[in-house]
Amino acid sequence: MNRPVTLKDIARETGVHVSTVSRALDPNARTSLTREVVERIRTTAERMGYRPNRLASGLRTKRTMSIGLMIPDIENTLFPPIVRGAESVLEPAGYTSIIVNTDSDRKRETKLVDVLLERGVDGIIHAAPYRSDPRMVEVARRGLPMVTVNRQIENCDIPAVVNDDPGGIAMMLRYLHEKGHRRIAHIAGPKNLSTGRTRIEAFRATAQELHLDLPDEALVVSDYFDEQEGRRCTLQLLDSGTGFTAILCANDRLALGAFDALRRRGLSCPEDVSVTGYNGIPFLDLIPPGLTTIQIPQFDIGRIGAELLIKMMADPDVTIPRTTILPVKLVERGSVKRIDPA
């Protein structure tokens, strides 16, 4: 493996000191050099195929131009668009992102934060925090720029970019109401996630506003945002004996699980039960009967999160709003049937 070209090599070649080379190659050099020298150094650097060693410069400057991107699981289709959104601003700014999968496991998360810290990331975007997350709060307090996206950590001042969940849930519930549904069940998300909590609260509030009857059995809380839990909760609803004409699910994967549970019980959607989701993950339009859902701006969540982070890294004292709320919209597909309000 032939040794990469270093500043020293260029210095020897051009007959100047290595520090001069460094300055010549620094786009925003504070010391002025002769135009001629800069030119000569730049061209030989080019010719020799010089590539700066990020390790060395990072060691010296304490800036690695890399950031950590923590997500629950890259296989969950909710997250890749967020990643691309974040990279759409990070990459042009010269940052490289290190993506880690937490698997929503606190122990893993702790370990992964250490990994990121060891690698000297300049900041962290966390797309999967729990509502309470002392470790992340501590790291942020120590001074590492950090933002959370999609979800947020409570009781701290880490900037968060989230969706308008109250608005989205209210919109969806009103939509079901307009479609004639009166007995509406809710499969809520995990209580230890901000999205889980916010959505269930919004559901309750809106249900009350609409004067909907909401028996305890019509509201089940899932342990995870996945299909399996969607199935389990739907079966629980079905078995509880509580009557309902629609299920509002706290996210799409729960809704997909609901589809499956209904099918297993010989019920059809939307004929027997209407179902709605939340997030608007890919492929939903191809899966019958087409899940009516709330589309969140996945790409923008990542993009804006990264923009905020870049601001924070540029100026540690900049004030960033505690939460940035992004608008959502309702996407109508086939999983909701208009019924006659009995």
Partner DNA sequence: TGAAATTGCGCAATCGATTGCACGAATACT
Partner DNA sequence: AGTATTCGTGCAATCGATTGCGCAATTTCA
CB-count burial class (<10 Å; 0-12, 13-18, 19+) for 244: buried
CB atoms within 10 A of CB 305: 28
From candidates 1, 27, 60, 94, binder to DNA by CB under 7 A: 60
Establish if 118 lies at the interface with a copy of itself (CB under 8 A). yes
Helices (H) and strands (E) in the chain, counts: 12, 12
Single out the residue of 18, 52, 110, 192 in contact with a copy of itself (rule: CB under 8 A).
Answer: 52
Nearer to DNA, 20 or 251 (CB): 20
Q: Following CA atoms 62, 64, 66, 70 in sequence, which dihedral angle do they give, to the nearest 10 degrees?
A: -40
Compute the distance between CA of residue 220 and CA of residue 233 in angstroms, rounded to an integer: 6
Please tell me the distance from the alpha carbon of residue 276 to that of residue 293, in angstroms, as a whole number: 5
Q: How far is the CB of 53 from a copy of itself (least distance, A)?
A: 7
101, interface contact from DNA, a copy of itself, none, CB < 5-8 Å by kind: a copy of itself
Q: How many residues interact with DNA (rule CB under 7 A)? A: 29
132 sits near DNA (criterion: CB under 7 A):
no
Q: Which does 286 bind (CB under 5 to 8 A by kind): a copy of itself, DNA, none?
A: a copy of itself
Q: Does 318 bind DNA (CB under 7 A)?
A: no
Q: Which of 1, 12, 13, 20 binds DNA (CB under 7 A)?
A: 20
CB within 8 A of 172, min separation 6: which ones? 248, 276, 278, 294, 330
Among 26, 39, 105, 114, binds a copy of itself (CB under 8 A): 114
Residue 52 in contact with DNA, rule: CB under 7 A: yes
- Furthest-apart CA pair in the chain: how many Å? 90
User: Is 115 near a copy of itself (CB under 8 A)?
Assistant: yes
Find which of DNA, a copy of itself, none residue 26 binds, CB within 5 to 8 Å per kind. Answer: DNA
Of these, 1, 2, 27, 32, which contacts DNA (CB under 7 A)?
A: 32
**Residues for the chain: how many in total?**
342
155 binds DNA (CB under 7 A): no
- Quote the CA–CA distance of 323 and 314 in Å, as a whole number: 19
Q: Which of 7, 67, 82, 220 lies at the binding interface for DNA (CB under 7 A)?
A: 7
Burial class (CB in 10 A: 0-12, 13-18, 19+), 276: buried
Query: Is 134 a residue that touches a copy of itself (CB under 8 A)?
Result: no
Distance in angstroms between the alpha carbons of the first and the last residue of the chain: 77
Residue bearing tokens 């729990």:
130
Report what 287 binds from DNA, a copy of itself, none; CB cut-off 5-8 Å by kind.
a copy of itself
Which range binds DNA by CB under 7 A, 9-17, 188-196, 223-231, 279-287? Answer: 9-17
Half-sphere exposure of 44 (CA within 13 A, CB side): 20
Nearest approach, Cβ of 60 to DNA (angstroms)? 3
**Rounded Cα distance, 223 and 230, in Å:** 10
Among the residue ranges 11-19, 152-160, 232-240, 323-331, the one whose residues contact DNA (CB under 7 A): 11-19
98 binds a copy of itself, rule: CB under 8 A: yes
SS3 labels along 222-279: CCCCCHHHHHHHHHHHHHHCCCCCEEEECCHHHHHHHHHHHHHCCCCCCCCCEEECCE
**Of positions 80, 129, 257, 297, contacts a copy of itself by CB under 8 A:** 80
How many C-beta neighbours within 10 Å does residue 178 have? 11
∠ at Cα 193 (109, 294), nearest 5°?
A: 120
Q: Which of 29, 59, 267, 314 binds a copy of itself (CB under 8 A)?
A: 59
List interacting residues with a copy of itself (CB under 8 A). 1-2, 4, 51-56, 58-59, 64, 66, 73-75, 77, 80-81, 83-84, 87, 96-101, 114-115, 117-120, 142-144, 256, 282-283, 286-288, 316
